[in-house]
Amino acid sequence: MNAILEFLGMGGYAAYVWPAFGAAALVLGGLLWNSVARLRTARAALKALEGTGGRRRERGDEA
Amino acid sequence: MRWWHRLASPSRFMAYSARILPWAAWGAALCIAAGLYVGLFASPADYQQGETVRIMYVHVPAAWMALFCYTAMAASSIGYLVWRQPLAELAARATAPIGASFTALALVTGSLWGQPMWGTWWVWDARLTSVLILFFLYLGYIALAEAYDDPVKGSRAASILAIVGFVNVPIVKFSVDWWNTLHQPASVSRLDGPAIDPAMLVPLLLMAAGFTLYYVAVGIVRLRALVLERRIRALQMQAAHGGSADAVTTVA
């Protein structure tokens, strides 16, 4: 237990070290989420369009 | 057609990027997990900076990626303006938000490191100021690329900004040598070898590899989305103009 507290305490610099890692998780995680969501939206929209337009699928099109 | 033209064709890209993506994504996850483990648990505190030195494991790789992404964005913009590669333009558009994110991360973590070690969150020295300008260049690129209804106009304007703004990249890199900065000079990329203990160099390089692979993976995801969005636009134009196939073949 003490070892965990000592680790979390970061030698008195917890208020600087953890927000830095938290910011990294937030920014990189958020960007990943946004990118995957955008790809999913585009894929669904294209599928809907091709469904009505009847365009042939090319090799490597499966996104 | 030369091999790079074929590689740069959007439909070829959709085929091979699907194969690269899982490797890049898993590689990024593994490298970042290993880098976090070594950086947080299995590496020593600094004899002067104490535990704050661990901020380095996100701050320095993020700053490297900020410059790397801008260089990639400027190179892609040249590929678009000079050789008219449609994929190069989309690659630059896909890179911009990733580079902006890494730059913001470098600024925030640098601030969190500066307060305990320098006694200030921010100082207008050459390194910090030039990185802030780098961040604004990314934002400017994104704003300009999205500013026109016609994506071609936006791409030309944004590409020119990316290329002109590249002058800031060496300024960021060498600011610590050219001017008297509060920010320390480089410790890893030095002519006489890294001035950093292997115990700290290992987690640093693991995180740098992880961030690079993250850029590849997220870049592929964003680029795939952009290719599909262009295809959607072409199909919509085709439908609006009564079924000519020209609009589709130019982008897909």
Q: Are B11 and B90 in contact (CB under 8 A)?
A: no
Tell me phi and psi for residue B229, to 5 degrees: -65, -40
Ramachandran sector of residue A55 (left: φ over 0; alpha: ψ -120 to 50; beta: rest): beta
CB burial class (10 A; 0-12, 13-18, 19+) of residue B44? Answer: exposed
ipTM of the complex: 0.89
CA distances from B231 to A13, A45, A59, B3, B8 (A): 50, 10, 15, 23, 16
More confident position, B188 or A28: A28
Q: Do B225 and A42 touch (CB under 8 A)?
A: yes
pLDDT beyond 80 at B245: no
Residues 6+ apart with CB under 8 A from A44: none
pTM of the entire structure?
A: 0.91
Chain B's closest residue to A57, CA to CA, is: B11
CA A19, CA A25: separation in Å to the nearest integer?
10
Chain A interface, best mutation among B32, B65, B135, B231, by max A CB count within 10 A: B231
Reading the block at residue B125, the tokens are 């020295």
- The stretches in chain A having pLDDT less than 70 are 52-63
Q: Of A26, A32, A25, A63, which Cα lies nearest the Cα of B215?
A: A32
**Using the beta-carbon criterion (under 8 Å), do B62 and A55 form an inter-chain contact?**
no
Taking the C-alpha atoms of residue B68 and residue B1, their distance in angstroms, rounded to an integer, is 29
Across chain B, mean pLDDT equals 92
What percent of chain B has pLDDT above 90?
77
**B141 vs B77: CA distance, rounded Å:** 11
CA distance A2 to chain B (A): 15
Whether residue A20 lies within 8 A of chain B, CB to CB, comes out as yes
Domain range list for chain B: 21-182+195-213
A23 interaction partners in chain B (CB closer than 8 Å): 58, 105, 108-109, 112
In whole angstroms, what is the distance from residue B46 CA to residue B239 CA? 64
For the domain spanning B21-182+195-213, the CATH number is 1.20.120
What is the SS3 assignment for B64-91?
A: HHHHHHHHHHHHHHHHHHHHCCHHHHHH
pLDDT, position B230: 92
Distance from CA of A54 to the nearest CA of B (A): 11
- Which residue's entry shows tokens 């678009």? B80
Q: For B96-138, write each residue's pLDDT tens digit.
A: 999 999 999 999 999 999 999 999 999 999 999 999 999 999 9
Biggest alpha carbon distance in chain A? 65
